Amino acid sequence: MRTFQRTKLALMKFSQAWVACLIAMGGGVSIYHMTVAAKTGFVSSVGVVATSYLPDAYRTPRSNVVFTFFTTFFGDILVVPTHYGPVWMEAVVTGLLASLFSLIFFGVRKKFINN
């Protein structure tokens, strides 16, 4: 994977984690929540860049979803104080949402762009 591809992947995963974090966070949308979601997205995208050096890390839908879940999960658990349930619950919800967005994006890209 080249530097441009890694940058594009990191920006895509940042946006997926950012939106997922905003949705999963309780309390609505505010400047504070957008800042926290941006921090989660940044930590997640750093994890994405680190894992992109693994061979075939983001080539298949399955690996894409798994890596997206874990990088977003760890980004959320490091940055966000939980708003409900156990400490890890919000991070799991955020990771699942980001993985869902990743799967949707992968499917749309495959169907319409890489036809």
What's this model's pTM, rounded to 2 decimal places? 0.89
- Cα dihedral sign, 8-13-16-19: negative
Distance CA(62)–CA(103), nearest Å, equals 8
Q: 51 pLDDT exceeds 80?
A: yes
Examine the pLDDT at 69 and tell me if it is beyond 80. yes
Which domain does 53 fall in, by range? 3-113
Res 74 pLDDT > 80: yes
pLDDT confidence tier of residue 114, bands split at 50, 70 and 90? low
pLDDT at 7 over 90: yes
Please tell me the total count of domains within the chain: 1
pLDDT at residue 80, rounded to an integer: 84
Least Cα distance to 72 among 104, 101, 40 occurs for: 40
